[in-house]
Structure 1
Amino acid sequence: MSGRYVGAAVRRHEDPRLLAGRGRFVDDLSAAGCLHAAVVRSARAHARLVAVRLDRARAHPSVAACLAQDDLAGALRPLPSVGLPTPPLAARVSFRVRAAPGVPLAARTVRYAGEPIAVVLAEDRAAAEDALGLVEIDYDPLPAVTDVEQGLDPAAPRLHEGWDDNVAVHFALSVGDPDRAFAAAPVRLRERLRISRSAGMPIEPRGILAVPDLRDGGITVWTSTQVPHLVQRALTDCLGLPAHRVRVVAPDVGGGFGTKCSVYPEDILIPAAAARLRRPVKWIETRREHLESATHSREQLHDAEIAAAADGTILGFRDRFLLDQGAYNPWGIVQPYNTVAHMLGPYRIKHAAFDARSVLTNKTPHAPYRGAGRPEAVFVMERMLDRLARQLGLDPADVRRRNLIGLEEMPYDVGLLYRDGNPLVYDTGDFPEALERALDAVGYAALRREQQALRLRGVYRGVGIAAYVEGTGIGPFESATVRVDASGKVVVATGACSQGQGHETTFAQIAADALGVGLADVTVIGGDTGEVGAGIGTFASRSLVLAGNAVARAAGEVRQKLVRAAAALLEAGEADLDVADGQVFVKGTPGRGLPLAGIVQSSLPTFQGRRVADPIFETSVVETVPTVTFASAVHVAVLDVDPETGLVTILRYVVAHDCGRVVNPKIVDGQIHGGVAQGVGGGLWETLVYDAAGQLLTASLMDYALPKARDVPRIETIHLEHPSPRNPLGVKGVGEGGAIAPPAALANAIEDALAPFGARITEGPVSPERIVALIAAAAPTPRE
């Protein structure tokens, strides 16, 4: 597709509305007679529920109802489980996967602190929250599992009855002959690496407004979600309603990052309460609830090994790791398999083996968060490459140069299977070019020359490199409907919903080029099951690859309908017509044409004559892809470390990336910048800490540290466009990429800066406290 808009740095169409405060988020919505919900949550990490006494709360004058599991038993089925192995994958990889999907309300046992037990519904939010203190719960405490290795112990308490251990997922796979490669290798290194637990922290917490329709028993649910169609499907199952009577709408959503792509207990609980009471119900998550009860991510423990030649050529790689899954397993193999599938990255490694386990613990459930297993993989591989370079006395950049897959090797078969069951084959990309462009931009050679002189002056500067390849645009499908209305305006509706990605602009650019109209003539509607009957949602860097191509194909088919109708009306051949500036006209004679509104109106049958063309200028498309496309990037961080305070100051941050064809450079830059900012937080501060009893110790922003504006440097982006042959637009996903590499790049840069002290980084995030401790443990004085 070519035109005036695709590829242009168009300003985001949605920004004036949002910046002027005209956004409509869930908490901006209201309904007459609305009740407000507050959720009673477990104070224990693991316990039997002996008694849940709601009488005092029910007696509160502003409380309309208090509901526990027995009150809503008919509507409270287990939450959906996704992420089971596809048949092609299961046929070639041996998996042990056990479902532990979670429930809307705990009935007999609570398995993490913060698990919902009951809901209070009151006339206002303050009364609902006050009444929480009137609920009395008797617990019979059970021993808690709070460490992933403890969870593997045969003597560990079992989280679920009937399980012989706490392993929810286990699989192993390999490529080549890693044992032989290790046996023959002159250099072998082993390291234990740990990635801490973190939270998604979107600026808007979760929220739900459920409004029952008293006429037909249906319900409309406005919810801050990434997956409205999945929520609709769960609600039809739980409420026993047909799909057309359950409308789920994602209005303006203030960030998601994967945290909002699960179907949560509240997604069922609040609509079920509204249906039971026949009144609207609203629930808005507090920040403490988000930290305590919204899904967590990242926490993994790796025992990695690398085998190499004396010149730094990688001969083999092995990794055994544990993922701390928390109490339930709603996403199956997704995170551990993503980690394995992305571990080898852009490097030519012919022999590798992996063993992965997801282990249940008495913590909040683990689920995808921006990157979904990929940042962990990159942290492990890039840490091992820096360790190898240091062991061999080589420049870290040279080790990467020696092992990067070349452009001439594309498409490159990694030798594994991707999560969709297809061979893991990189489609396009020039990894060496990305490395050199990033190093040149940061002035790498000069930085290395200056580094020693700076150390003599007490300035400890480090440079860190991290590279990745990311599978984007996973299926199975996404949908779009495009129509031209009687006024000649274009409406685009899609199952993909925006949480800040700029869909209203990007999809409008695609449709406008296809239909020859201006951007102002296109309205984009996303995330409304009443507008699009089938959809999946926005996650996994998939929206442009799937929904974008669906919009392009649907708009192309509507264009053909317009040309066909105009040909009949103008008595011209279809091949002689063109579409531009809101009209269909005879090529070379724009004066002989019809505006889109005229075509639509003239195609309608009248009493004066039969119709000359089909009057419905609308097409719906379900777009599928053969497999994922592979985006890639190299990140380079330059920073200074104060060894006395552990304070890190990031001086430069460069990203050379390839997301295929760039539809809008401004929006791509925004996605990268936002991702890097989150990656900086994950790399330097963000960590969720539990005590031995399973109590969350970092349940507020006083304890869970987030990056501030001053902590994030100006991010320099370099666009490398290698279009994918796997979809008509040639695009690759970019939503998650910015967050994948920063923890690794920063850890590498910090260890590089601290090389005179002999400090070794084996755990992220690399907080100031950790830096000071590492220096103290390594050596009392720096070495030159």
Structure 2
Amino acid sequence: MTLRLEDHGFLRGETPFLRDLPAEDCLHVAFVRSTVAHGELRGVERASALDAPGVVAVLAAADLGMRPFRPFDAVPEHFARHPLATGRVRFVGEPVAVVVAETAAQAVDAAEEVAVLVDALPAVVDADAALAPGAPALFADAPGNVVIHYDRGRVADLFETAALVVEGRFPNQRLASAPMEPSAIVARPSGEGLDVWATCQGVHVARHELAPPLGMDEADIRVRAAAVGGGFGGRHSIPVEFVVVAAAARHLGRALRWDETRTENLLTMVHGRAQCHELAMGFDDDGRIVGLRVRNLADCGAYPHFGPLMPFMSRKLACGPYRVPRVDYEWLAYATNTNPIGPYRGAGQPEVTNGLERALDLAAAQLGLDPLELRRRNLLGPGELPHTTVTGLTYDSGDYPAALARAARLVDYEDVRADQAARRARRDQVQLGVGVACYVSATDGRTEFGAVDVAPEDGTVTVRCGTLSHGQSHATTVGAVVAAQLGVGLEAIHYVDADTDLVPRGEGTGGSRSAQMAGSAALQAAHQVLEQARALAAARLEADPADWW
């Protein structure tokens, strides 16, 4: 059994989160937000707030000179977002101004004194309203509120050989990421640069996103993270509030901090899902899939930055672990007057899996087959892998039928089904539900940084990685890989992952990639350290390194 390196500090309350860090030099920030879902922004009245106790400044977009930004280049330029609302507000909770005061309480009280002048416009909050002819447009250059429409035309005779076609409309409700720790940032001017502490899923990603709207070089920004209380994808991209706090810190020449409330987190952190799949699936007489048609309507919220990435990934993963010979997949990403959508726990995979698996259940009922048996007939076998799906995703290895069979044995599937049937037959007040679902989990394959250094004084091994642990236990996981390779105890490992000055690059944590990519990078670095050690030892012993195991 391996004892996790992280547990001692967390269980004893010794590992600091960002709110635990000393910040006596900081002024505090509170945001003034829109209470209107859609409207023309006519002005911000701040005189009363400026007279409030402890207030240092009340700042709007024009005061800070921040540039509009769009993290996802595939999104058309006219959807770029201003960190503070400029000209128009597009969802409830959008930040309009920022109050800086001596204490957090004073900042919050003064924010209540700021009047936001908005001429309300009609709002659209779902696909029916946003895509209707003549619908109110969120952006002047995007009539119809369409962000991206992916459509390669219909596949002719898709269901020509089908004995059965099942159809359905399968919505995925919008949900909040809701990590245990709300967002927080401390930004300190440092000469011409910035020293930033932030809750995030990757310090290098945060630095990369801060620099453009601030008009700064990334090299002039240092980003660090304390312990981070969860992310789930909602922290893949930084909130716009981080940009505003950083810009205000530079503007005032003072250290600032912002501690998000739970209400703010639920209101403004990117939401997840919000897709609707209109799906049809065809089967032959033996229950084998002959074709799949999907029309995916993906709500991106008011600012479609990473929102369109979700339906793109849904299309890639549309075949699941099944043998699907033909696919007709159309997706349409659109804007609404709601909180922006971002990645959340699977980033497109659960959305398409929901529709695919529910369609299989419908087909099983109509074909008179057990849902597990229908899936077994359609799963790719180990002899068919590697396999490239018609949507362009390659499955390298695996034994999907064996995994399904083992899952069935572990839950005593036959006995459970018998119990279910018996309860139904006797009209038992307590019924039993049985669900079956299969999916393929893909790892984000972006390269990652890993380095291993050994201190000559005491043999301490420092492992540096470009991912960022926020509950995944990277220090133990990656540390154990390096320790096993070097033949040292896990206690000899010092793990570093949350400082852009100490780790030169990184893609952060997300996409089920940390152990695979950061762990592999650290393993390769450990191999190199071992080879260097062998060469040094061989030189001292006047031996041939090739003779060493």
Aligned length: 546
**1:449 partner amino acid:** A
Query: Which of residues 246, 258, 264 is equivalent to 2:233?
Result: 258
Corresponding residue number in structure 2 for 1:136:
115
Partner of 1:759: none
TM-score, normalised by the number of residues in structure 2: 0.96
1:480 is aligned to 450
State how far apart, in whole Å, the 2-side matches of 1:497 and 1:49 are. Answer: 38
Q: Which residue of 2 aligns with 1:432?
A: 401
* Structure 2 match to 1:210: 187
Moved over 4 A (4+): 96-99
Q: Superposition pairs for residues 417-496 of structure 1, below 5 Å?
A: 417=392, 424-455=393-424, 456=426, 457-475=428-446, 477-486=447-456, 487-496=458-467
Aligned residue number for residue 121 of structure 1:
100
Does the 8 Å contact 2:317/2:349 carry over to 1? yes
Matches within 5 A, 1:168-247: 168-173=147-152, 178-213=155-190, 216-247=191-222
Check whether the contact 2:323–2:378 (CA below 8 A) recurs between aligned residues: yes
Give the equivalent residue in structure 2 for 1:82: 72
- Which secondary structure state, in structure 2, belongs to the residue aligned with residue 462 of structure 1? coil
Comparing 232-241 with 192-201, which one deviates more in the overlay?
Answer: 232-241
Distance in 2 (CA, whole Å) between partners of 1:338 and 1:241 is: 32
Correspondence 1:313-712 to 2 at 5 A: 313-331=288-306, 333-417=308-392, 424-455=393-424, 456=426, 457-475=428-446, 477-486=447-456, 487-577=458-548
Determine whether 1:43 maps to 2:35.
yes
SS at 1:510 equivalent: helix
- Number of the residue aligned with 1:752: none
For the 8 Å contact 1:100–1:329, the answer to whether it is kept is yes
Note if 1:297 corresponds to 2:272. yes
| 1:286, distance to aligned residue in structure 2 (A) | 0.9
Q: Indicate conservation of the 8 Å contact 2:146/2:333, yes or no.
A: yes
SS of equivalent residue, structure 2 residue 179 = coil
CA contact (8 A) 1:194 1:300 kept: yes
Instruction: Give the partner amino acid of 2:168.
Output: E
In the alignment, the residues of structure 2 paired with residue 32 and residue 220 of structure 1 have an alpha-carbon distance, to the nearest angstrom, of 15
8 Å Cα contact 2:467/2:508 also seen in 1 = yes
Deviation string for 1:642-699 (max 9, x for gaps)? xxxxxxxxxxxxxxxxxxxxxxxxxxxxxxxxxxxxxxxxxxxxxxxxxxxxxxxxxx
- What is the alpha-carbon distance in structure 2 between the residues aligned to residue 130 and residue 543 of structure 1? 42
**1:633 alignment counterpart:** none
Per-residue deviation, 1:240: 4.1
Q: Structure 1 CA distance, aligned partners of 2:128 and 2:200?
A: 33
Q: CA deviation at 1:97?
A: 5.5
Contact 1:212 1:278 in 2 (8 A): yes
Compute the TM-score of the two structures, normalised by the length of structure 1.
Answer: 0.68
Question: Shift of the alpha carbon at 1:145?
Answer: 0.8
Counterpart residue number, 1:109: 88
Partner of 2:126: 147
Tell me the equivalent position of 1:30.
Answer: 22
Which piece of structure 1 moves more, 551-560 or 348-357?
551-560
Answer with 302-311 or 289-298: which moved more: 302-311
1:56-99 residue CA offsets vs partner (Å, 9 max, x unmatched): 111112111111101101xx112342263xxxxxxxxxxx8566
8 Å CA contact 2:300, 2:308 repeated in 1: no
1:553-600, Cα deviation, whole Å (9 max, x unpaired): 11211222222222222332223446xxxxxxxxxxxxxxxxxxxxxx
Whole-angstrom CA distance in 1 between matches of 2:349 and 2:214: 36
Unaligned runs of 5+ in 2: none
- Matches of 1:452 and 1:154 in 2, distance apart? 49
- Counterpart AA for 1:105: L
SS in 1 for 2:343: coil
Instruction: Tell me which amino acid in the other structure corresponds to 1:42.
Output: S
| In structure 1, distance between residues paired with 2:214 and 2:122 | 35
RMSD: 1.7
Residue 97 to residue 398, structure 1, CA distance change in 2 (3 Å): farther
Residue type of the partner of 1:535?
G
SS of the equivalent of 2:181 reads coil
- TM-aligned CA deviation for residue 504 of structure 1: 0.6
The alignment-based identity, stated in percent, is 40
CA distance in 2, matches of 1:545, 1:173: 34
2:12 partner letter? A
Deviation at residue 469 of structure 1 after TM alignment: 0.6
* Local SS of the residue matching 2:390: strand
Residue 623 of structure 1 corresponds to none
Secondary structure in 1 matching 2:58: strand
CA contact (8 A) 1:198 1:296 kept: yes
Matched-pair contact (CA < 8 Å) for 1:167–1:359: yes
Structure 1: any 5+ residue segments left out of the alignment?
1-8, 85-95, 418-423, 579-784
Is the counterpart of residue 162 in structure 1 residue 176 in structure 2? Answer: no
8 Å CA contact retained: 2:480, 2:490: yes
Q: Measure how far apart 1:516 and its partner are.
A: 2.1
The amino acid that maps onto 2:4 is R
- Aligned residue for 1:367, secondary structure, equals coil
Q: What is the deviation of 1:503?
A: 0.4
Letter of the 1:44 counterpart: V
Equivalence for 2:9: 17
1:191 aligned counterpart, secondary structure: strand
Partners of 2:29 and 2:101 within 8 A in 1: yes
